[in-house]
Amino acid sequence: MKINNNCARKILLEVEKIPYGETLTVAQLQEKISDFSIEDVLTIVTLFNKEHYLTVLDKTSYDDNDVFKEHKIKCLTEKGYKTLDLIRSDEIWELMMEKMNNFDELSIFTIFNIANKIVNVKHNELLALPKDLIIDNTRW
């Protein structure tokens, strides 16, 4: 199934809102972002769980990365927070959608990489750093 990039961003934003010590089932998450299907949400949560962007509880075994509607999402991981920081800004997200004709066809990981480059450029412009001190930081 193709990853919906807008859904992936919304998932990270919603998971960040989970209060400490609480959880949210995948079905509850889908209700919060009801513009997207449960299949979209399950696909992305499964991917983000496998890639360690968020923590999902209730997996049936250590090696079982499949996520189901009743599984509980606990929180973002450090990697998830760092990545969300890259795409949190509506300005950056909309700029990428506007400038890239094939935005919907790019992988979400390519989007993260592009967002990282944009953030680095913005930081370098803000700080007016000389070329030998230019920041080139990969946050995720």
How many angstroms separate the CA atoms of 9 and 70, rounded?
A: 21
User: Which of 47, 77, 107 is the last residue before a domain boundary?
Assistant: 77
- 16 located within any domain: yes
Q: Which of 129, 94, 133 is nearest to 118 (CA)?
A: 94
**How far apart (Å, rounded) are the C-alpha atoms in residues 26 and 135?**
37
Q: What pLDDT, on a 0 to 100 scale, did the predictor assign at position 50?
A: 92
pLDDT of residue 2: 87
Amino acid (1-letter code) at residue 66: D
The residue among 77, 97, 113 that closes a domain is 77
pLDDT of residue 1: 77
- Would residue 117 count as lying in a domain? yes
The C-alpha R_g of the chain, in whole angstroms, comes to 16
- Whether residue 27 contacts residue 56, with contact meaning beta carbons closer than 8 Å, is answered with no
Number of alpha carbons in the 13 Å side-chain half-sphere of residue 58: 13
Looking at the domain assignment, is residue 82 inside a domain? no
pTM of the model as a whole: 0.85
Q: Give me the DSSP letters along 29-87.
A: HHHHTTTS-HHHHHHHHHHHHHTTSEEE---SSTT-----TTPEEEEE-HHHHHHHHHH
91 and 73 belong to one structural domain: no
Domain stops at, among 39, 54, 77: 77
| Domain annotation covers residue 140 | no
What's at 53, amino acid-wise?
Y
Q: Which residue segment(s) compose the domain that 59 sits in?
A: 5-77
CATH number, domain at 20? 1.10.10.10
Structural domains of the chain, count: 2
Reading the chain (140 residues) residue by residue, the pLDDT tens digits are: 789 999 999 999 999 999 999 999 999 999 999 999 999 999 999 999 999 999 998 765 455 567 788 999 999 999 999 999 999 999 999 999 998 989 999 999 999 999 988 887 776 676 766 655 555 666 54
Output DSSP code: residue 18: S
Does residue 10 sit in the same domain as residue 66? yes
Assigned domain for 58 exists:
yes
Q: Which whole-number Å values give the CA distances from 116 to 3, 4, 61, 71, in the listed order?
A: 19, 19, 34, 31
